Amino acid sequence: MTGFFSRRTLAVSALMALMLLVSGCSVFSTREPEEPLGETGSFIQPDTPEQVIENLQASVAELNTLNYRRSLSEDFAFRPTATAQARESVFLSWSRSQEEQYFSAMVAAAALNQGHSLQLNDQSLTLLSESEFVLDATYVLSVNHRRAEVPTRVQGRLQWVLGQGPDGLWALEEWTDQELGSEPSWSDLKAEFSK
């Protein structure tokens, strides 16, 4: 009989120890939710061309490189103003990669500052085909960066060709920049931040 009681006592003791351990750890209690790992900004799934435009404006306002990149198609093409093209050799081989690098450099120079914006005025969105639209608009871009030799406000006229991919989502495929008078343009800003 003594063997029976000792095994039973041992089992009860182990069970009580396990219960104390579980209750002490609060395994089944609720806890405060953790903060998300990163800020995703105001990105909207681009189911329409208008949502690509909104995403690009939000990317500038939030200086969000990830969302800016997500708004560009894989075969993105940029055509600078005639003046910038003649003055800057960087535009000879401009691609999506250079577009991402310029934007990242600009974001780094403007970090911790506020008041960034992209205003699009006189907008005209025209259907080119079932899967392509073109936006024609004047723009005023304000980015409050810390590089004294580079303008913080540029303006001009842009044409964005917005295309729908095989997945049904829209992205910016082609961008043509045009200057308005003698004001610095977005092309000038891109050239400065790609150096």
Q: What is the CATH number of the domain that holds 71?
A: 3.10.450.50
Report residue 15's pLDDT band, with 50, 70 and 90 as the boundaries.
low
Is residue 110 assigned to a domain? Answer: yes
Segment 150-155 mean pLDDT: 96
Bridge partner residues of 158 (DSSP)? 137, 177
**Whether residue 36 has pLDDT greater than 50:** no
Q: Is 12 or 53 the better-scoring residue by pLDDT?
A: 53
CA 82, CA 69: separation in Å to the nearest integer? 25
**Whether residue 70 has pLDDT greater than 80:** yes
pLDDT at residue 194 in the model: 93
**Whether residue 8 has pLDDT greater than 90:** no
Is residue 53 assigned to a domain? Answer: yes
Among the listed residues 3, 72, 82, the one whose alpha carbon sits nearest the alpha carbon of residue 43: 72
Is residue 147 assigned to a domain? Answer: yes
* SS3 of residue 22 by DSSP: helix
Per-residue pLDDT tens digits for 101-117: 999 999 999 988 899 99
Is residue 178 assigned to a domain? Answer: yes
Q: Residues with Cβ < 8 Å from 2, sequence gap 6 or more?
A: none
Segment 43-61 mean pLDDT: 97
The one-letter amino acid code at 80 reads P
The structural domain count of the chain equals 1
pTM check: above 0.75? yes
Tell me the residue range of the domain where 112 lies.
49-193
